[in-house]
Chain A
Amino acid sequence: AIRMTQSPSSLSASTGDRVTITCRASQGISSYLAWYQQKPGKAPKLLIYAASTLQSGVPSRFSGSGSGTDFTLTISCLQSEDFATYYCQQYYSYPRDFGPGTKVDIK
């Protein structure tokens, strides 16, 4: 199975900050990488797929990059509604495992 790691595990930021989260796969997954946002008590929401394609309706302040084993999610100007936990997921092979998550909270 491909192991997914994320860094940092948590971060504190202020509204307006630029935030970058890193996801690493234990082996190459091409661009088969998705990012999800999850708020407490809610289901995850797909933000980005194919490493850099924004899901319909997702604000353009979210962007993704990377291929192979190293990927990043960037929030260009953090808004209050962006405080949440973010997960990456590989869908290159089975099992389609998720990363451990990165919690973004208010500084």
Chain B
Amino acid sequence: QITLKESGPTLVKPTQTLTLTCTFSGFSLSTSGVGVGWIRQPPGKALEWLALIYWDDDKRYSPSLKSRLTITKDTSKNQVVLTMTNMDPVDTATYYCAHSDYDSSGTFDYWGQGTLVTVSS
């Protein structure tokens, strides 16, 4: 049974760096074809794809946010960490992490519950 859960601060100040952790179970990020991604959703708006890291440490970023994002993995802890620098109120959103696997759907088939991050002074 695959589960993912996001954790991190619920409130950050403008210009601060956000660090979010995705802790997962039911799969290994050392298995070929497996990846974990991050997606966000501002209140009342659409989903926005942010970043994805694969079993082989290949990393992909949204071009519009690439300069502010870093995605890393800790295979031994079953965690993926996303950092976003220079936070702004427009970054207020629910942040989701999700599992993908080339050998199944190839896209996000399991999602965390999401964590709401508010950017405000």
Residues in chain A within 8 A of chain B (CB atoms): 1, 32, 34, 36, 38, 43-46, 49-50, 53, 55, 87, 89, 91, 94-101
The verdict on B105 contacting chain A, using a C-beta distance below 8 Å, is yes
Using Cβ atoms and an 8 Å threshold, which residues of chain B touch A50? 105-106
The verdict on B63 contacting chain A, using a C-beta distance below 8 Å, is yes
The verdict on B75 contacting chain A, using a C-beta distance below 8 Å, is no
Using Cβ atoms and an 8 Å threshold, which residues of chain B touch A100? 46
CA distance A89 to B52 in the complex (A): 14
A/B pair count, beta carbons within 8 Å: 63
CA distance A87 to B111 in the complex (A): 15
| B112 pairs with A43, CB closer than 8 A | yes
| B48 pairs with A98, CB closer than 8 A | yes
Q: What DSSP secondary structure best describes chain A's contact surface?
A: loop
The verdict on B13 contacting chain A, using a C-beta distance below 8 Å, is no
Apart from A43-B114, A95-B60: 10 A-B pairs, beta carbons within 8 A: A32-B106, A34-B108, A44-B47, A44-B111, A55-B105, A91-B107, A95-B63, A97-B48, A97-B49, A98-B49
CA distance A94 to B46 in the complex (A): 18
| B96 pairs with A98, CB closer than 8 A | no
Using Cβ atoms and an 8 Å threshold, which residues of chain B touch A101? 46-47
The verdict on B83 contacting chain A, using a C-beta distance below 8 Å, is no
| B105 pairs with A46, CB closer than 8 A | yes
| A99 pairs with B46, CB closer than 8 A | yes
- Please name 28 pairs of A and B residues whose Cβ atoms are closer than 8 Å in the assembled complex, sorted by A: A32-B106, A34-B108, A36-B47, A36-B108, A38-B47, A43-B96, A43-B111, A44-B39, A45-B111, A46-B109, A49-B106, A49-B109, A50-B106, A55-B105, A87-B46, A87-B47, A89-B107, A91-B107, A94-B60, A95-B49, A95-B61, A95-B62, A97-B49, A98-B46, A98-B47, A98-B48, A99-B46, A100-B46
